[in-house]
Amino acid sequence: MKMDKKIFFSNKNFYIFLLCLIIGLLIYNVFSLITTSNLYAIIPISIEMVLLYLIVAKNRSVRFVVIIWAIIALIIGYGFEFIADLMDDFNNHFSSLELWPLILNLIGLAIGIIVIDYTRRTVLVVSADENPTENIRNVE
């Protein structure tokens, strides 16, 4: 007998935050595609649409996919962007230092760390017949 698995988000606030984050990034990328005609924006748009589908459908691979997405898009992306901005400022002897891009990259990096941490702690894979609310503490 095959046991079906499903996803349970033990923290509803994180579930809403994750949906809002992905929808916000999706809106930003669609706006970027329309205003700049940059066809490379189709890549993150398609990834975010797949993520949204997997999260809403509560597919059992959501936990793995969200962690991989957060590592690549948020941690590596914003981390390299932060390092590149810092190196550019260093090469210019900090004569044209702009703090706002550095702060935005640090915020993106922090959001990536939070997404990975909360995904690991609050997104649970349970069997279809199991009641996930038993013996699960809500991580706030």
Q: What pLDDT digit, counting tens, does each position of 48-77 carry?
A: 999 999 999 999 899 999 999 999 999 999
- pTM confidence score: 0.83
Task: Say what angle helices 12-36 and 42-57 make with each other, to 10 degrees.
Answer: 160
Q: How many other β-carbons are positioned within 10 Å of the β-carbon of residue 36?
A: 10
Q: What pLDDT digit, counting tens, does each position of 69-114 carry?
A: 999 999 999 999 999 988 888 887 777 778 898 999 999 999 999 9
